[in-house]
Amino acid sequence: KNQVEQSPQSLIILEGKNCTLQCNYTVSPFSNLRWYKQDTGRGPVSLTIMTFSENTKSNGRYTATLDADTKQSSLHITASQLSDSASYICVVSATNAGKSTFGDGTTLTVKP
Amino acid sequence: ETGVTQSPTHLIKTRGQQVTLRCSSQSGHNTVSWYQQALGQGPQFIFQYYREEENGRGNFPPRFSGLQFPNYSSELNVNALELDDSALYLCASSSGGATSGSQETQYFGPGTRLLVL
């Protein structure tokens, strides 16, 4: 069964600090992995998308890494801001499926 | 803003009733997917429509049905509502007949929050 596990479930950090969110998956055959940011009460917004051949991709202060061998991805946030407080969702797609598998997200709270 | 709109924003229904949720895709997008997101969980795939035809379905019962119109807007219908149907319902649009294997990015709407009493 295709699964996506994210950790930690929730995280609290101080403004200006860095943090790393983890995503482990068992989706196969792998097509791509996406990270989304979802603000409370809003729809998810795409941050990065990576295919099998890519092991890192950046979007401003967000940097995603992918290790397709160990089936792990991480999202690193640098110099966090209060507006980074949100849920971060990892989504993995298979090449032969009609749907993507979503993780349950990591809830990040950035405090002043 | 993603250009994807959903209506209504909030809705309260009682068990056994029927509900219709609406989604307007981003301009130029011909594919729409619907998701159910319970509190504290990730979105669960309901189904996807490509050019007015269903193009994939998740593990949801037949009382969850959908439509896509020629202008690529879409509806999600849920019959015989149950308490567990209370959730945020998200639609996402993309282009090119995207299946999950595609690299096309999905653009999500703000969602409709449904409460079933």
Rounded-to-integer distance, Cα B115 and Cα B32, Å: 23
φ/ψ of residue A83, rounded to 5: -70, -10
Is B42 touching A (CB cutoff 8 A)? Answer: yes
pLDDT of amino acid A96: 63
Of A48, A54, A52, A38, the closest CA to residue A89 belongs to A38
Smallest CA–CA distance from A89 into chain B, residue = B42
Contact (Cβ atoms closer than 8 angstroms) between residue A103 and residue A89: yes
| Yes or no, beta carbons of B56 and A99 under 8 Å apart | yes
C-alpha torsion B43→B24→A43→B53, nearest 10:
20
pLDDT of amino acid B2: 67
Smallest CA–CA distance from A10 into chain B, residue = B40
pLDDT in tens, A66-112: 999 999 999 999 999 999 999 999 999 887 655 688 999 999 999 99
What average pLDDT does this structure show over B82-105?
A: 78
Average pLDDT, chain A: 92
What average pLDDT does this structure show over A7-24?
A: 97
Rounded-to-integer distance, Cα A13 and Cα A110, Å: 5
| Yes or no, beta carbons of A97 and B100 under 8 Å apart | yes
A34 contacts on B by Cβ (under 8 Å): 105
